[in-house]
């Protein structure tokens, strides 16, 4: 009888150890996989919310071009961080759109938004109506539950959005950036797509990658390294 009890006890211990190892391996695998998947659900406002404020279906070049048509003026310059990339800025009455032409692994060329700068008080975002004229305190209260971007990482955004004072992470690690005047009020704000997506890809582009015959995981890693992003920090 004692022998059976000991065997049963040993069996339960082994079972618990195996189960513990399984949980540990599953957790480690999940964490490892997440470093390649730059998904984040914004607390204050989603991409759809920003798009709605601009009166478009999505924050992409095609949707904005369809809604607003040709810009009042435009300018072209070479990206200071990538001599092979040309940036184009479209000036509209209430905002400025900066885009670049990017190439898929298949060879298709598409236009990707690099920055949207809000320049009018008429455009407001979210339940607290954040926009030009909002105080720093209101901005910080609105985005209190979204990660604040460290100053050293904010320097990356400053290469295209000079004088940026503060920024917060939005959906899929995009950046919501703010410039304040001497009175601590927003004088301009900007939406910057994630560095991960800004290079070539978005989630909606994966199907095109699959059709091109390039393995998905390889394609993502290739974009990370070619664009200088850290594999374990999609928000850089």
CA distance 151 to 165: 9
pLDDT tens profile 107-130? 788 888 999 999 999 999 999 999
Averaged pLDDT, 203-219: 42
CA distance 9 to 211: 54
Looking at residue 94, the DSSP 8-state letter turns out to be S
Averaged pLDDT, 50-57: 96
- 20-29, 72-81, 159-168, 205-214: lowest mean pLDDT where? 205-214
Predicted local confidence at residue 5, as pLDDT: 59
CA distance 107 to 150: 36
Is residue 60 within 8 A of residue 158, CB to CB? The reply is no
Q: Which of 27-31, 77-81, 142-146, 230-234 has the highest mean pLDDT?
A: 142-146
Residue with tokens 């900007």: 190
Reported pTM: 0.69
Could you tell me the residue ranges of all domains in the chain?
Answer: 1-34, 47-226
Using a pLDDT cut of 90, give the percent of the chain over it: 51
Nearest to 188 by CA among 161, 170, 168: 161
Predicted local confidence at residue 147, as pLDDT: 95
Q: Is the sign of the CA dihedral 158, 161, 167, 171 positive or negative?
A: negative
Mean pLDDT of the chain: 78
CA distance 137 to 131: 13
The strand order across the sheet containing 86-91 reads 73-78, 86-91, 95-103, 109-118, 186-192, 175-180, 166-169
Predicted local confidence at residue 43, as pLDDT: 95
| Neighbouring residues of 147: CB distance < 8 A, sequence distance ≥ 6 | 168, 169, 235
pLDDT tens profile 158-195? 988 999 999 999 998 899 999 999 999 999 999 999 86
């Amino acid at each position: 009888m004692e022998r059976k009890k000991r065997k049963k006890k040993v069996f339960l211990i082994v079972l618990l150890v195996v189960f513990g190892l399984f949980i540990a391996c599953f957790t480690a695998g999940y964490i490892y996989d997440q470093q390649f998947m730059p998904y984040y659900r914004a607390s204050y406002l989603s991409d759809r919310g920003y798009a709605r404020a601009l009166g478009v279906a999505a924050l992409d070049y095609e949707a904005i071009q369809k809604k607003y048509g040709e810009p009042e003026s435009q300018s072209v310059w070479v990206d200071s961080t990538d001599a092979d990339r040309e940036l184009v800025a479209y000036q509209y009455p209430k905002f400025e759109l900066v885009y670049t032409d990017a190439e898929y692994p298949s060879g298709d060329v598409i236009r990707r938004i690099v920055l949207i700068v809000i320049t009018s008080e008429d455009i407001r975002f979210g339940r607290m109506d954040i926009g030009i004229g909002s105080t720093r305190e209101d901005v910080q209260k609105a985005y209190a539950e979204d990660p604040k971007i460290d100053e050293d990482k904010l320097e990356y955004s400053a290469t295209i959005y000079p004088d940026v004072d503060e920024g917060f992470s939005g959906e899929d690690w995009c950046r919501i950036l703010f410039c304040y005047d001497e009175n601590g009020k927003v004088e301009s704000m900007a939406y910057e797509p994630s560095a991960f997506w800004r290079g070539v890809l978005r989630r909606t582009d994966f199907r095109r990658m699959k059709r091109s015959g390039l393995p998905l995981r390889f394609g993502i890693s290739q974009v990370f390294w070619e664009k200088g992003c850290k594999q374990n920090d999609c928000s850089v």
